[in-house]
């Protein structure tokens, strides 16, 4: 992480790439943060709702894409990439050269997965320059899978079933269902140690819109429900620090020979409606990650320059 | 798929070995598949559909674990079908292209029916394109089609047509329709699409055959029906009965009557545990508009929580649950059980 | 290493002996092409490059599109040319037009129906906001001569059975309240915007209504009949026809389309509307047979007659107006076009899809 040369010296400066729903919601969250400052929202279409909102709030906007940062290399310390997997690959390459931290919300998954309660500390400690926020289902289920892994040595299989409101799934989500499934499965397996994992996504068109709901099933030979409940409580508390609307609805319990945990995520409603908890949780996780990196880097006093 | 220029020809697609899996907890074995396919081939069934009840790649704790992997079932079918085509049902979100679609192509599947909930057609775009580009016969399927107006149904069908679907099938997944409902929807699709239109019926309100005939009367040329009605809940449209009625009305199916009757007998004796009937819970799920495949888990969970399964169905119906949301059955049961307790105390 | 094909033969053939002379007004001019990386954009650029190379026209081309990579991939013969400047921009933000530009051909937008039904709001926004932006930027030009707006045959709605061809004065009906009408409605809106700009800003505009094109640079992705047939032939799969195969279409080759558009640009009367397509119709049955013949392979043709009633609508342009105004006759028959296109895809070794 480069030495922050900040204007007021107390915040990490952030640029958001991508002015769609995710990017705009991120902007609203950054504006609420004590540790982050929103330098600019960068999109493609000047008349998009996101850029229009940003402009109306006095936030700098640009349609220059990655060029905005290339032209002002010193303008920010962290970039949130909410564009697309294709764009991200190029964005990441260019920004790493400039020593800027990249938080990737696309399915590109160039950098390691980041699920805050599980591995954020480790990433910050290692000075990672590109972290990937997995998927919305991943952010919801990996903490549970992690708790399962902490309580059990031998997990045969974990299955994650998420239902989200149809309205919260835009064209990008719908085009990338396969990526969503494969990425979520990878993350769940990785952080639980389960031998196999499966992810399922349901889009529900019911109105009023349903909140994001995720059920985690686990096939475990010798379930240790007490230990799991303990680990679960701990990890859920950690998630609730950055996602207040994250709540265990049912369980953990054993139903039909599997360990079942059902949770719901109600979004903060910063920009996206509260039912879009799926989009909110990935954004909240991204902000949590950035704030952690901010806490780390802002401890560096100005006299201690980090040599590039 | 070569279809005769004859306007009285109806293409029959038999989902016994797929939809029927719902009735037996997805436990159909390769041997059962093989034997059924041999008889179906002899009877001249045009398409036989094989796989987990929710399609390839759907075997899961949520939807039920299959006794045998997709590959084994498809292999058994492929080895025993020559002129009859082998079809699969595919739901994006359960299946993926790399993990499920490609292996199915390698296994020699002929017909790929890509399905979504009736308002979410755009999730099938990539799958439809992929299948079409590989030269496979590709259908688009809209499930739980009663949950959309005829106009919305047409729009969603148009999306699938634009993505390259070569036929469009709407499903009455909960057996909710009456013949006029079918006429309006199928009629609208036939008027406005350039691809063939098909109907998949369920028998919850004992209307499956009548509904299928209504579909054909307004221009549908593809019908799904199962042997002895083998399928979820009250079962699918009964194949033998439908074929008999179609022949009586002067339609051609290419299916041999005695052959398909034998198929029904075989299915009854060897595939199903009970012959599907229009039971009380089936009627309720039909009225509530809840996916027929929920019957087994609803019954099980209702027994566990000591509540009336019919109440669960009406509750799920009110919530507008879609196929794949079996986990909500548990939630519904908990809610109703708590309410019951509150009433008592 | 095989030399990059420059399509000079195609261009020469479409121009014919009098073509270059008919386009004299373009000499030393600056032509802006929006949607520069699409089929029409690439063919226009190819034809202008030919005029520059063979006839010293000295045309300066400015191409705009969202991504340069797409242009590089499909048109390597245009790479590195000093007479082509590429401007990466979303058409809705397009403001970077040289004051010296006298000519604009507005060809932005994808005719791919899947994008129209999958993302109709974006489709309508790009067409409406994009067309508006282009019309406004034309006002900045010093000596602006003509803008050609590529509308679409979809503005006619469905071709009625009693009409063998669609003439420009046919006013079609599209139900605006249904989503599949989004593209057609947006294109109609674009035409109305052009008429407004003509009236209010005195911007000279000619409207082109493209029918069906064929040729190199066309991705075979969208499931139209011609794409499906070509794709099947290239993949050595059976050709599939929906409907009874009597449905008629016509296919205009890329360089012919480019030539006609340039004729409209320099010679079209302000406010005129022209169909852009091949006058000769061909039934899909015959087209499939033609593709099989040209492929040189014994491919099967499968017909599915069980389709819905919408399958029978023809789509054939009435080309009398363009014929009278410009003495326009396509140089490429559909047979020639199929042959050329198959050869191009085969030479690339990969199917652009």
For position A94, which CATH number holds?
Answer: 3.40.50.720
Domains: count for chain A = 2
Q: Do A63 and C66 touch (CB under 8 A)?
A: no
Same domain as A153, residue A31: no
For chain C, the average pLDDT equals 92
Q: Answer whether residue B100 shows pLDDT above 80.
A: yes
Q: Is residue A305 part of a domain?
A: no
Q: Is residue C89 part of a domain?
A: yes
**What is the 3-state composition of chain B as percent helix, strand, coil, each rounded to the nearest 5?**
50, 15, 35
Same domain as A230, residue A208: yes
Q: Is residue A79 part of a domain?
A: yes
Same domain as B32, residue B166: yes
Could you tell me how many residues make up chain A?
A: 308
DSSP structure class, residue C162? T
Same domain as A144, residue A82: no
Same domain as A69, residue A186: no
Q: Is residue A126 part of a domain?
A: yes
C234-273 pLDDT, tens digit each: 999 999 998 778 999 999 999 999 999 999 999 999 999 9
End-to-end CA distance of chain A: 8
A231-265 pLDDT, tens digit each: 999 999 999 999 999 999 998 999 888 999 999 99
Q: Answer whether residue A74 shows pLDDT above 80.
A: yes
Q: Is residue A87 part of a domain?
A: yes
Per the CB < 8 A criterion, the answer to whether B114 and B49 are in contact is: no
A152-194 pLDDT, tens digit each: 999 999 999 999 999 888 888 898 899 999 999 999 999 999 9
Q: Which residue of B has its CA nearest to C304?
A: B3
- For A169, how many CA atoms within 13 A lie in the half-sphere containing its CB? 30
Q: Which residue among A181, A204, A250 sits closest to B96, beta carbon to beta carbon?
A: A181
Chains that touch A (3 or more CB pairs under 8 A): B, C
Same domain as B258, residue B231: yes
H-assigned helices in C32-166: 39-55, 68-74, 113-118, 120-138
Same domain as A141, residue A123: no
Q: Is residue C228 part of a domain?
A: no
Same domain as B232, residue B95: yes
Q: Which residue among C231, C235, C307 sits closest to B194, beta carbon to beta carbon?
A: C307
Same domain as B262, residue B295: no
Same domain as B68, residue B94: yes
Per the CB < 8 A criterion, the answer to whether A24 and A56 are in contact is: no
Q: Is residue C232 part of a domain?
A: no
CATH number, residue C188: 3.40.50.720
Per the CB < 8 A criterion, the answer to whether A204 and A210 are in contact is: yes
Q: Do A47 and C92 touch (CB under 8 A)?
A: yes
Confidence of residue C311 (pLDDT cuts 50, 70, 90): low
C203-217 pLDDT, tens digit each: 999 999 999 999 999
Same domain as A142, residue A75: no
Q: Do C92 and A45 touch (CB under 8 A)?
A: yes
Q: What is the pLDDT of residue C351?
A: 61
Same domain as A208, residue A151: yes
Q: What is the pLDDT of residue A304?
A: 33
Q: Which residue of C has its CA nearest to A43?
A: C90
Same domain as B245, residue B127: yes
Q: Mind telling me how many Å the CA of C141 is from chain A's nearest CA? A: 23
Same domain as B40, residue B122: yes
Tell me which chain A residues have a C-beta less than 8 angstroms from the C-beta of C92. Answer: 45-47
Q: Which residue among A177, A202, A215 sits closest to B322, beta carbon to beta carbon?
A: A202
* DSSP-derived 3-state class of residue B301: helix
Q: Is residue B5 part of a domain?
A: no
User: CB contact, 8 Å: C307 with chain B?
Assistant: yes
Same domain as A151, residue A51: no
Which of C330, C321, C278, C329 lies closest to C169, judged by CA?
A: C321
Q: What is the pLDDT of residue C316?
A: 96
**DSSP track, B63-83:** TB--SS-HHHHHHHHHHT-SS
A100-110 pLDDT, tens digit each: 899 999 887 78
Q: Do B195 and C311 touch (CB under 8 A)?
A: yes
Among candidate residues B207, B235, B270, the one where a domain is terminated = B270
Q: Which residue has the tokens 């996780």?
A: A285
Cα–Cα distances in angstroms (integers) from residue B108 to residues A195, B86, B319, C236, in the given order: 30, 8, 40, 17
CATH number, residue B324: 1.10.8.60
H-assigned helices in B169-308: 179-192, 208-217, 239-248, 257-270, 280-288, 295-305
pTM: 0.88
Q: Which residue among A175, A205, A262 sits closest to B119, beta carbon to beta carbon?
A: A205
Q: What is the pLDDT of residue C91?
A: 87
Q: Do B325 and A202 touch (CB under 8 A)?
A: yes
Tokens read off for C320: 């009398």
A268-307 pLDDT, tens digit each: 988 888 999 999 999 999 999 999 988 888 774 333 333 3
Tell me which chain B residues have a C-beta less than 8 angstroms from the C-beta of C223. Answer: 129, 132, 162-164
Q: What is the pLDDT of residue C96?
A: 75
Q: Which residue of C has its CA nearest to B120?
A: C118
Domains: count for chain B = 2
H-assigned helices in A152-224: 171-175, 177-192
Same domain as B173, residue B29: yes
User: CB contact, 8 Å: A257 with chain B?
Assistant: no
B89 is catalytic: no
Confidence of residue C85 (pLDDT cuts 50, 70, 90): very high
Same domain as B186, residue B289: no
Which of C247, C250, C274, C241 lies closest to C161, judged by CA?
A: C247
Same domain as B284, residue B266: no
Stronger pLDDT, B109 or B339, i.e. the higher one? B109
Q: Is residue B292 part of a domain?
A: yes
Question: C150 φ, ψ to 5°?
Answer: -80, 105
Tell me which chain B residues have a C-beta less than 8 angstroms from the C-beta of C306. Answer: 3, 9, 11, 167, 196, 221-222
Active-site position among A38, A76, A114, A136? A136
Tell me which chain B residues have a C-beta less than 8 angstroms from the C-beta of A260. Answer: 330
Percentage of chain A exceeding pLDDT 70: 94
Most confident of A50-64, B107-121, C171-185: B107-121
Same domain as A153, residue A268: yes
Q: Mind telling me how many Å the CA of A64 is from chain C's nearest CA? A: 9
Same domain as B248, residue B292: no
Domains: count for chain C = 1
Tokens read off for A191: 């952080």
Cα–Cα distances in angstroms (integers) from residue C75 to residues C7, C15, C347, C348, in the given order: 11, 20, 14, 11
Same domain as A50, residue A176: no
Q: Is residue A114 part of a domain?
A: yes
Among candidate residues B238, B270, B302, the one where a domain is terminated = B270
For chain A, the average pLDDT equals 88
Per the CB < 8 A criterion, the answer to whether C315 and C165 are in contact is: no
Q: Is residue B275 part of a domain?
A: no
Q: Which residue among A171, A204, A217 sits closest to B62, beta carbon to beta carbon?
A: A217
Same domain as A116, residue A227: no
Which of C86, C93, C97 lies closest to A64, judged by CA?
A: C93
Q: Is residue C347 part of a domain?
A: no
Domain span at residue A218? Answer: 136-275
Q: Is residue B147 part of a domain?
A: yes
Domain span at residue B92? Answer: 11-270
Q: Is residue C345 part of a domain?
A: no
Cα–Cα distances in angstroms (integers) from residue B132 to residues A5, A171, A177, B202, in the given order: 55, 21, 19, 28
Which residues of chain A have a Cβ shorter than 8 Å from any chain C Cβ? 44-47, 63, 171
The ipTM of this complex is 0.89
Confidence of residue B6 (pLDDT cuts 50, 70, 90): low
Q: What is the pLDDT of residue A302?
A: 38
User: CB contact, 8 Å: A201 with chain B?
Assistant: yes
- Mode of pairing for the β-strands spanning A78-81 and A60-62: unpaired
Interface probe with A: pick from C94, C114, C117, C119, most Cβ of A within 10 Å: C119
Domain span at residue C117? Answer: 8-214+252-279+316-333
B239-280 pLDDT, tens digit each: 999 999 999 999 999 999 999 999 999 999 999 999 999 999
Q: How far is CA A56 from the centre of its chain?
A: 26
């Amino acid at each position: 992480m480069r030495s922050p040369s900040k204007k007021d010296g107390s915040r990490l400066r952030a640029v958001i790439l991508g002015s769609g729903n995710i990017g705009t919601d991120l902007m609203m969250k950054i504006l609420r943060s004590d540790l982050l400052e929103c330098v600019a929202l960068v999109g493609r279409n000047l008349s998009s709702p996101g850029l229009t909102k940003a402009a109306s709030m006095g936030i700098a906007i640009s349609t220059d894409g990655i060029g905005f940062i290339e032209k002002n290399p010193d303008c920010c310390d962290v970039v949130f990439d909410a564009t697309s997997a294709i764009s991200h690959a190029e964005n990441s390459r260019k920004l790493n050269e400039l020593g800027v931290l990249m938080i990737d919300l696309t399915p590109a998954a160039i950098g390691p997965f980041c699920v805050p309660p599980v591995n954020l500390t480790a990433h910050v400690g290692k000075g990672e320059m590109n972290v990937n926020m997995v998927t919305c289902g991943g952010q919801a289920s990996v903490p549970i899978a992690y708790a399962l892994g902490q309580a059990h040595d031998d997990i045969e299989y974990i299955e994650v079933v998420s239902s989200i409101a149809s309205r919260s799934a835009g064209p990008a989500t719908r085009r990338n269902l396969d990526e969503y499934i494969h990425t979520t499965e990878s993350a769940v397996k990785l952080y639980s140690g389960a031998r196999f994992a499966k992810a399922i996504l349901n889009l529900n068109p019911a109105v009023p819109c349903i909140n994001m709901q995720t059920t985690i099933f686990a096939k475990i030979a010798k379930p240790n429900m007490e230990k799991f409940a303990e680990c679960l409580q701990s990890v859920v508390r950690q998630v609730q620090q950055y996602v207040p609307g994250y709540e265990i609805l049912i369980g953990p319990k054993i139903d039909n020979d599997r360990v079942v945990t059902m949770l719901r995520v109600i979004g903060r409603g910063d920009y996206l409606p509260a039912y879009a908890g799926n989009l909110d949780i990935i954004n909240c996780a991204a902000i949590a990650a950035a704030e952690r990196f901010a806490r780390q880097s802002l401890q560096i006093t100005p006299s201690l320059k980090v040599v590039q | 798929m070569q279809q005769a220029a004859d306007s009285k020809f109806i293409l029959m697609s038999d989902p016994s070995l797929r939809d029927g899996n719902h009735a037996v907890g997805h436990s159909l074995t390769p041997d059962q598949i093989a034997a059924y396919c041999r008889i179906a081939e002899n009877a001249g069934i045009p398409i036989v559909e094989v796989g987990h009840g929710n399609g390839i790649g759907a075997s899961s704790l949520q939807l039920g674990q299959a006794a045998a992997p997709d590959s084994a079932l498809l292999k058994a079918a492929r080895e025993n079908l020559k002129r009859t085509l082998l079809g699969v049902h595919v739901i994006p979100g359960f299946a993926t292209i790399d993990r499920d679609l490609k292996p199915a192509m390698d296994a020699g599947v002929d017909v790929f029916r890509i399905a979504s909930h009736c308002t979410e057609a755009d999730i099938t775009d990539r799958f439809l394109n992929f299948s079409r580009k590989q030269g496979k016969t590709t259908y688009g399927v809209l499930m739980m089609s009663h949950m959309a107006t005829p106009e919305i149904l047409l729009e969603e069908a148009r999306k699938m047509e634009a993505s390259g679907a070569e036929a469009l099938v709407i499903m009455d997944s909960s057996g909710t329709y009456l013949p006029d409902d079918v006429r309006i929807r199928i009629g609208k699709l036939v008027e406005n699409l350039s691809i063939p239109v098909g109907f998949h019926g369920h028998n919850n309100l004992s209307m499956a055959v009548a509904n299928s005939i209504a579909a054909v009367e307004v221009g549908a040329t593809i019908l799904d029906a199962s042997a002895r009605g083998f399928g979820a809940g009250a079962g699918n449209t009964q194949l033998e009965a439908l074929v008999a009625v179609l022949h009586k009305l002067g339609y051609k199916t290419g299916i041999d009557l005695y052959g398909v009757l034998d198929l029904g007998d075989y299915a009854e004796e060897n595939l199903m545990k009970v012959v599907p009937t229009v039971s009380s819970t089936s009627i309720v799920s039909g009225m509530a508009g809840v996916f027929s495949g929920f019957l087994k888990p609803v019954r099980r969970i209702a027994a566990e929580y000591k509540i009336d399964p019919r109440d669960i169905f009406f509750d799920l119906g009110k919530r507008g649950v879609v196929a794949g949301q079996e986990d909500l059955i548990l939630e519904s049961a908990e809610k109703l059980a708590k309410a019951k307790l509150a009433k008592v105390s | 290493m095989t030399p990059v094909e420059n399509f000079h033969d195609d261009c020469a053939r479409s121009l014919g002996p009098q073509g270059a002379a008919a386009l004299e007004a373009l000499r030393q001019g600056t032509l802006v092409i929006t949607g520069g990386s699409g089929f029409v954009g690439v063919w226009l650029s190819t034809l202008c490059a030919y005029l520059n190379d063979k006839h010293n026209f000295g045309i300066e081309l400015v191409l705009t599109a969202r991504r340069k990579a797409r242009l590089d991939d499909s048109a390597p013969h245009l790479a590195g040319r000093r007479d082509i400047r590429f401007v990466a921009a979303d058409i809705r933000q397009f403001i970077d037009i040289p004051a010296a530009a006298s000519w604009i051909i507005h060809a932005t937008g994808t005719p791919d129906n899947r994008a129209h039904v999958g993302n109709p709001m974006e489709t309508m926004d790009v067409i409406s906001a994009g067309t508006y932006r282009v019309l406004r930027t034309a006002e900045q030009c010093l000596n602006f001569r003509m803008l050609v707006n590529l509308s679409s045959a979809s503005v006619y709605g469905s071709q009625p059975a009693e009409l063998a061809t669609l003439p420009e004065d046919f006013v079609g009906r599209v139900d605006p309240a249904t989503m599949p009408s989004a593209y057609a409605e947006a294109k109609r809106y674009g035409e109305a915007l052009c008429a407004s700009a003509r009236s209010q800003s005195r911007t000279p505009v000619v409207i082109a209504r493209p029918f069906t094109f064929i040729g190199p640079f066309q991705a075979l992705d969208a499931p139209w009949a011609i794409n499906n047939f070509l794709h099947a032939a290239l993949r050595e799969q059976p050709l599939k026809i929906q409907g009874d195969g009597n449905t008629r279409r016509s296919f205009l080759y890329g360089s012919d389309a480019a030539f006609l558009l340039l004729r409209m640009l320099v010679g079209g009367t302000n406010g005129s509307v022209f169909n852009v397509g091949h006058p000769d119709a061909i039934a899909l049955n015959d087209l499939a047979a033609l593709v099989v013949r040209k492929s040189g392979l014994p491919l099967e043709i499968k017909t599915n007659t069980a389709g819905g009633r919408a399958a029978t609508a023809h789509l054939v342009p009435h080309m009398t107006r363009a014929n009278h105004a410009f003495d326009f006759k396509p140089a490429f028959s559909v047979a020639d076009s199929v042959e050329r296109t198959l050869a191009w895809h085969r030479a690339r070794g990969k199917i652009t899809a």
